[in-house]
Amino acid sequence: MNDFDFLHGSWDVANRRLTAPLGPGPALWTEFPGHSVIRPLFEGAGNIDEIVFPTLGRRGATLRLFDQETRRWSIHWSDSRTGRLDPPVSGTFDGDRGDFHGEDTYDGRPIRVHFTWFRLGPDTARWEQEFSADGGRDWELNWTMDLTRTGRAGA
C-alpha cells in the first residue's frame, strides 16, 4: 500500500518528450524543466502532486490511489491546458519498479498507455511513458522524467 511513499516531497524534474508521438518520420525530442511537490493521502494509500512546467507555461496534476480490494494502484493525470482527468492507468510494483497500463486516445485514435516508475534511491526516481497504437505489440517511449529531490517547500 505504501509503494509511492518514496515520492513524497519536492522534486526538480528533467523532462524529455517526443514532439510528435506515434508520428511518421524521425523522432524529435524536446527537453524542459519541471518542479513537482507530492503529498501523501490516506496514510499511504494515495498521493497527489502538482508539477509546474515553467518554460511551457502550464501545470499538471497526478492523483494516485491504492485499491484495497484489488491491491492495485490507479494513476490519474490532468493537465492545465484541458482541465480534464485522463483515463487512468493501473498496476503494481515489483521491488523498485512499478508498471501501469491503460487505454486512452491520442490524436483521435485508440492507444494503449504504459507508465513505468523506477525507485532509484532516496533522492532520485524516474518515470517513463510509452504508447502503443497496435494493441500493445510495439511500444514507443515518448516521455521520460528524471526526478531529483530538492529542499524546495512548494511548487
Q: Can you give the CATH number for the domain in which 139 is found? A: 2.40.128.20
Sign of the CA dihedral 135, 136, 138, 143?
Answer: positive
Classify burial at 146, counting beta carbons within 10 Å of its beta carbon; exposed 0-12, middle 13-18, buried 19 or more: middle
Which structural domain range is residue 66 located in? Answer: 5-22+30-150
In a domain, 133, yes or no: yes
In DSSP terms, which residues pair with 118 in a beta bridge?
Answer: 97, 126
In a domain, 124, yes or no: yes
In a domain, 86, yes or no: yes
Q: Which of 56, 98, 63, 58 has the alpha carbon at shortest distance from 77?
A: 63
Distance, in Å, from the CA atom of 4 to the CA atom of 47, rounded to the nearest integer, reads 8
In a domain, 139, yes or no: yes
In a domain, 74, yes or no: yes
In a domain, 137, yes or no: yes
pLDDT of residue 24: 83
- pTM score, two decimals? 0.91
Q: What's phi and psi for 86, nearest 5 deg?
A: -70, 160
Q: Are 1 and 45 in contact (CB under 8 A)?
A: yes
**What is the pLDDT tens value at each position of the chain, 155 positions in all?**
889 999 999 999 999 999 989 988 788 999 999 999 999 999 889 999 999 999 999 999 999 999 999 999 999 999 999 989 999 999 999 999 999 999 999 989 999 999 999 999 999 999 999 999 998 899 999 999 999 999 754 44
In a domain, 109, yes or no: yes
Residue 123, helix vs strand vs coil? coil
Domain total of the chain: 1
Distance, in Å, from the CA atom of 5 to the CA atom of 99, rounded to the nearest integer, reads 16
